[in-house]
Structure 1
Amino acid sequence: MTSTPVLPSRTEVAIVGAGPTGLALAVTLAEAGVDFVLLDRQAEGANTSRAAVVHARTLEVFDELDPSGALSAGLVARGIPVSRFRIRDGARPLAAVDFDGLPTAHPYALMVPQYETEAVLLSRLRALGGDVHRPREVTSVTQDADGVTLTTAAGETLHAAYAVGADGMHSTVRAAAGIGFTGSAYDESFVLADVVMDWAPGPSEVSLAFGAAGLTVIAPLPGNGNGGVGGGGGAGRRYRIVATVAEAPPSPDLAFVRALLAQRLRGEARVHDLVWSSRFRIHHRVADRYRAGRLLLAGDAAHVHSPAGGQGMNTGIQDGYALGRALADGDLDAYEARRRPVAQRVVALTDRMTRVATARGLTRRALRNTLLPVLARIPAFRNRLARELAELDYR
């Protein structure tokens, strides 16, 4: 089922954007019996796989949405649970953060492509009788005292009591609401690539590698060494690479990724294939408000930040769940009060991680590399960082 041809004329909640945030919101409303319409401008399956980690708190949300545990179990079966986050300077280990002691039913980071997370949420939504109206691009959003009117590119109109912008950084709903998006962009561009490679530490950890040229994140993904577009051979396994680059090419190719990893990982990686790649720029911004009358924001429409901690999609899914409960309970004022401070905290943490990782100058890097191993020997520091990454303190 790839589209729903007839758009209803009215609903209680119109959700713009059927990524993980919009899907989580829709599932929450469906569970609560609140009428909604979920719209997305893309055809099904036309998404890219930018996010690749699901943290413990998000899996707890899945369990709250489906107390049988089937929702979280279905996602775990598609991914790789990883219990260690390691910080390096190139190939040199500096600190390790372990998740396996966390007070949760999911003491790990689940490495799984975003499209798998979306597929599990969409399957749950359909089991509850809901679906996505696509491809439908919302081009106009207006509100008055009685409700919100949304108009699509095809000229269709939908009237709703409330409209939610889960439509990303360039949100149509946020623009219509006149809500500011305070923050700025990082100077560097980011390379995102899924590769097939042999890597000395292997698939048991996620690594954040510092270096004079910038930060590099290496994370295992499900799948073996086939289906690539470049080198052939079928050896190795899949990994997700995220790296800051002064000015990356529009479409990083196999040669570019190989050279980047050879420079930064000092011989630890042997890249066989390039499965997929992209270049993007990252901002660190938080919406000035999460609500303007009958218009509300969630996910990347409300906050964007560095991918250093892998928290963007997770924070968005948790937004969707919290907003769904607030709409079902008639307590919308509590939504911004609970979720905007979380976004500010996540943005601050990931910004600090990015700036520490990309520290300029030999003195600053030497100080960083001296202090971090000392701090990592303090249990309270390790536990605090593990809880922050897992988002367990955001319950």
Structure 2
Amino acid sequence: MDAAIDALKAAMPEGGRVFIPGCAGEPLGFADALARRPEAAAGLTFEGVWIPGVNRTDWAGLHDEARAEAIFVAPEWRDSFAAGRLAFSPLTYTQVWRRLSERAFEAGLFTVAPPGADSLCSLGVAADFSPAVFERTRVRIGLIHVGMPTVRDGPTVPLDAFDVVVEVDTPLPGYGAGAIDPVSAAIAARVAGLIPEGATVQTGLGKIGVATLAALGDRRGLRVHSGMVTEPLIDLLDRDAVDAVTTGVALGSSALYARAADDPRMRFRPVGETHAISTLAAIPRFVAVNSAIEVDLFGQVNAEWMDGRQVSGAGGLIDFLRGAWASDGGLPVVALPASTKGDALSRIVPRLSCPPSVGRGDPVVVVTEHGVADLRGLSIDARAQALIAVASPAHRDRLADDWSAMRQAM
């Protein structure tokens, strides 16, 4: 990795902007090497789309004079965010795709599979954002990762397009949601009941998204169109529940990565395609399933704030919900537990105390373990009633009283 670091410093003696991929393409070995040579990070601004819970490197924390730009906030980056070294931008995936595709980068790292006989390198299971910046990057550093699979259908880059090539043999970043708890399983069962055979499904990370995929094994004719896919997809493919998969990223174990290389039903596409409203609107019966932290009685969704602190970002949430809205027969689903902390705290709240991730102008289908509240087409009073009905029974009376008070003050 020293060759990659030396190339960076030679290309940018005064510093500059560096693209760093995320998800399974995160260059962990490079991060470790840079941590051993922190002075090499001085003056650099690292930019990429790094996923909380998956990509843990605090790029801005490598040196006091290093900076980073991101669309998420994660616990590992909290100190840099608080110190102002990490610039957080509340952008959707389609918005950050456009920003990246219009920016010039002095250097960029690109994790790719070993080249084939045609001297082309597959972007493998991390095809999300690298295509946006590749042509606009002055010095391209190719990390030839022996563990990155060459997928059958996905973006490639020519080996001779790299200025520096480094071979890498460290494990790819993985992902596991952990054991599925009974509440997540109950929510997933309700969500699965909304998904007909022949539908196209998108799910996010987290226990509810993983549990929803796992609950679809008895379906036939499904298609998956998602920003990322996780481990339960293997079972759906084995059971022939899914006919085709379009995704930008696979996140899971080596078994999932091997399946991505071998299964002809899987294809990988960049965010400019997977999240584009024109693409999503053209998919009939597109069901987008995403989780949230809380929903208020106006139908506004918080997917980013907890206890008054920014803990995540909107990511592809808005893109997929709006795509499902525009789809013929589509469903924009937000799924969450009705309460937390042993039922002491309701996650259906009277009014959000933070900026909404999804405004009330984008009504969704809210699913908890207690039921389904389809807010589309409802008046504000009908929305509130529908949401109170899927809240925890222990909190319904208080929510009704709060709504009555807010309604009288309008």
More strand by share: 1
Normalised TM-score (structure 2): 0.25
